[in-house]
Structure 1
C-alpha cells in the first residue's frame, strides 16, 4: 500500500527538493545536486517525507549527472549531442513527474538511478 503524506508543509518541502534540481537550468554548476542537497540537509530531520524524497532525488541527480558527463564525452564520436538532448529531455520529464507526485503527497521512485544514499 502506498503511503500518502497529508501535511501540506511536508508535501511542500518534498516538492521543493525535486524543484531545487532545476537550479542547474539557471546556470548554477551542479545545481541539480547542490539545490536538493541543501534542502535535504536543512529539512530531513523535520520531515520524514523530505528525508526519503531527498535521498531519492540525490541518487537520481548524481546518477544523471554522471550519465550526462559520459554523453558529453561522446561528442567526440558524433553521437554526444543526440545523447545530451535525449537524456536532458528525459531528466526534465522525470523531475517534473517527481515534483507533481510530491505535491500530491506521493513518494516518487526515479527510474534509472543508482543508490548512493539508502
Structure 2
C-alpha cells in the first residue's frame, strides 16, 4: 500500500474568472515573448502556462493547449523558412508565420477574456 506524498501539493480547481484571466494570459505572454524575440521564444511562455495550469480547469487547459499548438505550428513554419531564405522565399514564409501566430494569439486572448471556448483555425492539434 502506497503512502501519500506529504510534500506533494494538491491541484485545486480555480474559479471561472481566474480561468478566463489565465486563458488570456496563456495567449498574451507568448505573444509578448514572440514579439520581443522575433518569433523564437513564444513557445516558452505557452509551455510554462500549460504545464502550470493544465490540471486546474478545463477552460484554461484548452486555451493553454491552443496557445502551445499555435506556437508549435508557427515554429515549424519558421524553421522550414530558414533554409528557404537562401532562395528569398523564406523571408515571406517566416513573416507570414509570425503574422499568423500574432493574429491567432490576439484573437485567442480576446476570446478567453470573454469566456468563449475557441479552437484556432489552420492549426493542427499537437497538444490536447
Using the size of structure 2 for normalisation, the TM-score is 0.78
Q: How far apart in 1 are the matches of 2:99 and 2:34? A: 14
Aligned length: 113
Paired residue for 1:97?
107
The 1:56/1:8 distance shift into structure 2, 3 A limit, reads same
Q: Indicate the structure whose relative CO is greater, using CA pairs within 8 Å and at least 6 residues apart.
A: 1
3-state SS of 1:110 partner: coil
**RMSD (CA atoms):** 2.0
State the Cα distance separating 1:60 from its structure 2 match: 1.8
Distance in 1 separating the partners of 2:111 and 2:25: 12
Deviation at 1:100, TM superposition (A): 0.5
What whole-Å deviation, never above 9, does each CA across 1:57-82 have from its counterpart, x for those lacking one? 21221111001111222111121112
Maintained 8 Å contact 1:33/1:62: yes
Contact kept? 2:39, 2:98, Cα under 8 Å: no
Pairs within 5 Å for 1:56-75: 56-75=66-85
Structure 2 unmatched ranges of 5 or more: 1-14
Partner of 1:107: 117
- Partner residue of 2:96? 86
TM-score, normalization by structure 1: 0.83
- Structure 1 residues 29 and 60 mapped into 2: Cα distance closer, same or farther (>3 Å)? closer
Q: Which moved more, 1:37-46 or 1:20-29?
A: 20-29
Match of 1:10 in 2: 19
In structure 2, distance between residues paired with 1:107 and 1:73: 37
* Bigger CA radius of gyration: 2
